[in-house]
Amino acid sequence: MTAAPPSEYVEQVLDVVEDIPPGRVMTYGMIAEIVRERTGSGSARTVGAVMARYGSAVPWHRVVASDGRLPPGHEIEATRRLRAEGVAFRGEKVAMATSRWWPGENAD
């Protein structure tokens, strides 16, 4: 079993996820890029580990894979929540072109 990421990294990831507006999504890699700018370290895989361990307190369903795949094992609930927020889908994946969000962009 791998060691848990440092608490500062965990807090940074959770802060970014909390800022994702309803109806929009970010990828693990996008979150890693923002946190890396703040802390100097991190990867999409580490963001995934943080979300798996600590993500239940934030809007976890708004974090998806780069191709729009939903969190493994939570696809049904994530789909339900995202559809309720108005997120567009292409089949079983989030339509990333219209749903992706970056901090500082207009949430509309």
Q: What is the pLDDT of residues 96-107, one digit of tens each?
A: 999 999 998 765
CA within 13 Å, CB half, 45: 1
At 106 the pLDDT is 65
Assess contact for 72 and 10: CB atoms under 8 A.
no
Residue 1 has pLDDT above 50, yes or no: no
CB atoms within 10 A of CB 82: 23
In a domain, residue 108? The reply is no
- Domain extent, residue 78, equals 7-99
In this prediction, residue 2 has a pLDDT band, given cuts at 50, 70 and 90, of low
In a domain, residue 59? The reply is yes
**CB neighbour class for 83 (10 Å; exposed up to 12, middle 13-18, buried from 19):** exposed
CA gap 93, 31 in Å, rounded: 19
Average pLDDT, the chain: 93
Q: What is the pLDDT of residues 21-63, one digit of tens each?
A: 999 999 999 999 999 999 998 899 999 999 999 999 999 999 9
In a domain, residue 2? The reply is no
Residue 86 has pLDDT above 60, yes or no: yes
Assess contact for 53 and 5: CB atoms under 8 A.
no
Domain count, the chain: 1
In a domain, residue 58? The reply is yes
Domain CATH code at residue 36: 1.10.10.10
CA distances from 56 to 74, 103, 107 (A): 12, 21, 23
In a domain, residue 105? The reply is no
At 35 the pLDDT is 96
In a domain, residue 85? The reply is yes
CA gap 101, 17 in Å, rounded: 11
In a domain, residue 78? The reply is yes
